[in-house]
């Protein structure tokens, strides 16, 4: 019987090193460079030694920002801890996210609490990004790809004689928003048992743009505590993680509301065991969230409490069975239940908001049950293939709703909508059939090609199907697009089905040491893409914005990514030098009329020169973004000008301590974020007159971090 090494990702010890990253078709996460050498299409992530190049938390307290340098990933700006990632133009719920194996859903009509907001960058051990053609074993109910984030691996003592005591303390300061992150970790382990704790804080005031103006409602404060327990046997490992997190407040410059509280408890348990026949990976997760929106600062004043209670729980089972020397079979089953209550308590003395509670989503439920089979085959030393099929069955429902005042003439449109909603059968079920077929061909020792096809399906989320309010205000409260438009759902929405083809051409030197160049063209046709139709315009009180209803409309997205890296020098005077570059171009169109899709990043590139010499690591980086002239006119998406930013960073390792310093946007350039939506907070603080502008990015920030390991 062959010996398959226990290769569960969560027990690989890897540290994330944001660099400039190469995409791969199957996307095995070149977030850290060492992972780049992986034999595709395997999904193993090898142990990566921390090389201390750049600390995750140095430049941002938002874990999503760690993905900004990945050529397939862009960020739709939201709160300072809650940017919404997008993979090749497909955002948010179209991506499958897991955090330590837990499938986490935003419990908020503005998606203020996306999956990555539940882990601080200081606690990220590894990130995997699968873009586009994603193995079916990496999850269903998603069309863009998969992002898996894991905490640092649990460590055990090497032998029975010693106890392994580890700890670290880190602190980061960012000048642009007086941002402060601090984290401590401690663990004690023998050979079989490991116990660990971590805790910390991420907080900041609102940041300033390149003109020196404050960007209102960009402040935040988060606290967290995590406990871990690990048990290890000869061929098995059990991991338990218990987490509590409170976001005390978080501003949203491009939303009408802010977060005034988000309290979550999470339990994840993983079990991996190696058998004669292969390997079993099992995990269960449970997360409970209490979310509150409202107003907390003079930067965006108001009164309107909105509460959301959300739960996510489920399990996953995976079996890896080597059926012969050449073939590895993966089988799996997973289940995920989301429950959601979204309700808006009355505001005392308010004519519009009372006397009853507005029930936005009442007893919402979304269940998904999935099974898959995947075969990975190495036919010859040159040819590798991966074939997978997956079925997900989804069931959704929501209970009766009500407006603030069922008798008020002023709320007639909400009351009519509530009556119609309550009279309908709202139970919906969808069946997804997903397919993935890819091949890799090593044409020679200096080039290879990977290519493939995937069919992937996503069902609407609870807000897309079950938000029902038709009054201006009720609609203005829904939407995670940073455009302050009004949105309403549609019970009859169909799932989105993406058919994607893509290929990665890879050229490198024979030893894979000196240089590498990749090009990845891709094309996706998305049947029943969930876009919007305009159904009206809100009144003056809500700022005369478009009122939109989610609707299925075919769309296509295509583009090109390229990456390059090359060794520049290697000598005793200047150490080692390396240049890395990547660029990406994305185009998204509605099929019927050629309209531009919303939130598509314009042409952009990143070039960095890095030097390593002894304990020093230094880098100079240029970020170039072209102007955004193709905008979604239906949502009144703002156009933005092109820009270039220069960033510097440096780190020095001294025994157990490391100092990190960065200067981001060194020339304090003013620029607007192409995916930032509108700068609503600043516009409304100035009286809400005139047109809404695009959200500006951060001006120059000097960031300093100190990390001590013991």
**Phi and psi torsions of 138, nearest 5°:** -90, 10
* Residue 342 or 490 having the CB closest to Cu ion: 342
Distance CA 608, CA 568 (A): 12
* Residue 108 or 304 having the CB closest to Cu ion: 108
Closest distance to Cu ion from the beta carbon of 399 (Å): 20
* Residue 296 or 558 having the CB closest to Cu ion: 296
Q: In this structure, are residues 149 and 124 in contact, taking their beta carbons and an 8 Å threshold? A: yes
* Residue 52 or 345 having the CB closest to Cu ion: 345
Distance CA 155, CA 345 (A): 47
Closest distance to Cu ion from the beta carbon of 184 (Å): 30
Residue bearing tokens 């909508």: 417
∠ CA 375-380-382, nearest 5°, is: 100
Closest distance to Cu ion from the beta carbon of 121 (Å): 22
86, 187, 229, 552 from 675: Cα distances, Å: 10, 40, 40, 22
Closest distance to Cu ion from the beta carbon of 255 (Å): 8
Which helix (H) or strand (E) segment holds residue 501: the answer is strand 496-508
Environment class of 192 (CB within 10 Å of its CB; exposed 0-12, middle 13-18, buried 19+):
middle
Q: Which one, of 458, 394, 461, 456, lies nearest residue 428 by Cα?
A: 394
* Residue 249 or 683 having the CB closest to Cu ion: 249
Give the torsion through C-alpha atoms of 297, 301, 307, 312, to 10 deg: -50
* Residue 108 or 396 having the CB closest to Cu ion: 108
* Residue 110 or 538 having the CB closest to Cu ion: 110
* Residue 306 or 542 having the CB closest to Cu ion: 306
Give the Cβ contact number of residue 655 at 10 Å. Answer: 8
Closest distance to Cu ion from the beta carbon of 258 (Å): 8
Residues 6+ apart with CB under 8 A from 28: 35, 38, 40, 41, 42, 43, 45, 128, 130
* Residue 256 or 580 having the CB closest to Cu ion: 256
- Residues paired with residue 552 on neighbouring β-strands, in sequence order: 530
Give the torsion through C-alpha atoms of 308, 250, 698, 584, to 10 deg: -30
Q: Which two tokens stand for residue 617?
A: 């690591």
* Residue 108 or 394 having the CB closest to Cu ion: 108
By beta carbon distance, the residue nearest Cu ion is 108
Sign of the torsion formed by the C-alpha atoms of 38, 44, 47 and 52: positive
* Residue ranges in contact with Cu ion by CB under 5 A: 108, 110, 112, 293
Closest distance to Cu ion from the beta carbon of 344 (Å): 11
* Residue 108 or 562 having the CB closest to Cu ion: 108
Closest distance to Cu ion from the beta carbon of 175 (Å): 29
* Residue 291 or 456 having the CB closest to Cu ion: 291
* Residue 108 or 340 having the CB closest to Cu ion: 108
- Residues paired with residue 154 on neighbouring β-strands, in sequence order: none
Closest distance to Cu ion from the beta carbon of 108 (Å): 3
Closest distance to Cu ion from the beta carbon of 180 (Å): 24
- Residues paired with residue 628 on neighbouring β-strands, in sequence order: 640
Q: In this structure, are residues 172 and 707 in contact, taking their beta carbons and an 8 Å threshold? A: no
Closest distance to Cu ion from the beta carbon of 259 (Å): 6
Q: Which one, of 36, 66, 64, lies nearest residue 48 by Cα?
A: 36
Distance CA 672, CA 666 (A): 16
Sign of the torsion formed by the C-alpha atoms of 73, 339, 458 and 553: negative
Alpha-helical regions (H) of 522-615: none
* Residue 21 or 259 having the CB closest to Cu ion: 259
C-alpha distance across the termini of the chain, in Å: 41
Residues 110-144 as b/e (b if ≥16 CB within 10 A, e otherwise) read bbbbbbbbbbbbbbbbbbbbbbbbbbbbbbbbbbb
Closest distance to Cu ion from the beta carbon of 353 (Å): 16
Closest distance to Cu ion from the beta carbon of 107 (Å): 8
Environment class of 372 (CB within 10 Å of its CB; exposed 0-12, middle 13-18, buried 19+):
buried
Distance CA 267, CA 313 (A): 9
* Residue 112 or 692 having the CB closest to Cu ion: 112
Distance CA 360, CA 402 (A): 8
* Residue 463 or 643 having the CB closest to Cu ion: 463
Closest distance to Cu ion from the beta carbon of 337 (Å): 21
Give the Cβ contact number of residue 298 at 10 Å. Answer: 8
Strands 193-204 and 220-232: antiparallel
Which helix (H) or strand (E) segment holds residue 466: the answer is helix 462-466
Closest distance to Cu ion from the beta carbon of 296 (Å): 13
Distance CA 512, CA 672 (A): 39
Closest distance to Cu ion from the beta carbon of 531 (Å): 23
Closest distance to Cu ion from the beta carbon of 51 (Å): 38
Q: Which one, of 400, 442, 404, lies nearest residue 420 by Cα?
A: 400
């Amino acid at each position: 019987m062959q010996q398959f090494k226990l290769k569960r990702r969560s027990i690989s010890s890897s540290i994330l090193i944001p660099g400039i990253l190469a995409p791969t078709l199957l996307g095995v996460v070149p977030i850290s460079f060492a992972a780049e050498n992986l034999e595709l299409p395997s999904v193993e992530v090898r142990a990566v030694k921390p090389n201390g190049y750049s600390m995750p938390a140095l430049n941002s307290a938002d874990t999503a920002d760690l993905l900004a340098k990945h050529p397939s990933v862009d960020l739709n700006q939201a709160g300072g801890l809650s940017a919404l990632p997008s993979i090749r133009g497909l955002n948010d719920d179209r991506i499958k996210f897991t955090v330590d194996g837990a499938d986490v859903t935003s419990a908020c009509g503005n998606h203020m609490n996306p999956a990555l907001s539940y882990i601080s960058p200081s606690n990220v051990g590894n990130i995997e990004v699968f873009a586009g053609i994603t193995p079916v074993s990496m999850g269903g109910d998603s069309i863009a790809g998969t992002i898996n984030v894991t905490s640092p691996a649990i460590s055990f003592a090497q032998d029975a004689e010693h106890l392994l005591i580890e700890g670290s303390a880190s602190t980061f300061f960012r000048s642009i928003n007086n941002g402060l992150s601090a984290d401590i970790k401690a663990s004690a382990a023998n050979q079989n048992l490991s116990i660990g704790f971590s805790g910390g804080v991420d907080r900041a005031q609102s940041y300033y743009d390149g003109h020196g103006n404050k960007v209102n409602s960009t402040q935040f404060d988060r606290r967290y505590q995590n406990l871990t327990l690990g048990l290890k046997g000869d061929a098995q490992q059990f991991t338990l993680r218990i987490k509590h997190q409170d976001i005390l407040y978080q501003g949203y410059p491009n939303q009408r509301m802010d977060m005034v509280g988000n309290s979550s408890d999470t339990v994840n348990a993983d079990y991996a065991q190696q058998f004669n026949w292969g390997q079993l990976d099992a995990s269960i997760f449970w997360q409970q969230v209490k979310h509150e929106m409202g107003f907390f600062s003079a930067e965006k004043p108001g009164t309107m409490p909105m509460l959301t209670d959300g739960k996510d729980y489920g399990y996953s089972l995976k079996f890896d069975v080597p059926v012969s020397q050449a073939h590895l079979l993966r089988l799996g089953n997973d289940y995920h239940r989301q429950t959601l209550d979204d309700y808006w308590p009355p505001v005392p003395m308010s004519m519009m908001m009372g006397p009853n509670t507005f029930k936005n989503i009442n007893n919402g439920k979304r269940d998904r049950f999935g099974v898959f089979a995947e075969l990975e085959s190495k036919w010859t030393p040159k040819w590798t293939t991966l074939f997978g099929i997956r079925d997900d069955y989804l069931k959704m429902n929501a209970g009766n709703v009500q407006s603030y005042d069922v008798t008020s003439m002023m709320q007639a449109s909400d009351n009519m909508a509530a009556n119609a909603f309550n009279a309908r059968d709202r139970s919906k079920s969808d069946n997804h059939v997903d397919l993935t077929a890819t091949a890799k061909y090593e044409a020679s020792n200096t080039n290879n090609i990977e290519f493939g096809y995937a069919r992937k399906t996503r069902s609407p989320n609870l807000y897309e199907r079950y938000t029902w309010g038709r009054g201006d205000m009720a609609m203005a409260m829904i939407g995670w697009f940073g455009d302050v438009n009004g949105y309403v759902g549609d019970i009859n929405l169909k799932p989105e089905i993406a058919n994607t083809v893509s290929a990665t051409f890879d050229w490198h030197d024979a030893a894979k040491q000196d240089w590498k160049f990749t090009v990845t063209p891709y094309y996706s046709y998305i049947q029943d893409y969930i876009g919007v139709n305009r159904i009206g315009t809100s009144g003056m009180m809500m700022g005369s914005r478009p009122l939109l209803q989610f609707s299925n409309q075919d769309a296509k997205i295509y583009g090109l990514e390229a990456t390059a890296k090359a060794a520049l020098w290697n000598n005793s005077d200047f150490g080692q030098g390396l240049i890395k570059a990547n660029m990406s171009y994305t185009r998204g169109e509605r099929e019927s009329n050629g309209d531009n899709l919303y939130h598509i990043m314009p042409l952009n590139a990143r070039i960095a020169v890095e030097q390593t010499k002894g304990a020093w690591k230094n880098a100079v980086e240029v970020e170039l973004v072209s102007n955004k002239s193709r905008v979604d006119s239906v949502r009144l998406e703002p156009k933005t000008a092109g820009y270039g930013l220069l960033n510097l960073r440096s780190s020095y390792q001294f025994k157990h301590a490391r100092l990190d310093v960065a200067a981001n946007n060194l020339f304090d350039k003013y620029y607007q974020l192409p995916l930032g939506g509108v700068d609503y907070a600043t516009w409304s603080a100035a009286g809400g007159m005139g047109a809404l502008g695009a959200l500006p990015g951060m001006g120059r920030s000097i960031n300093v971090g100190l990390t001590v390991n013991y």
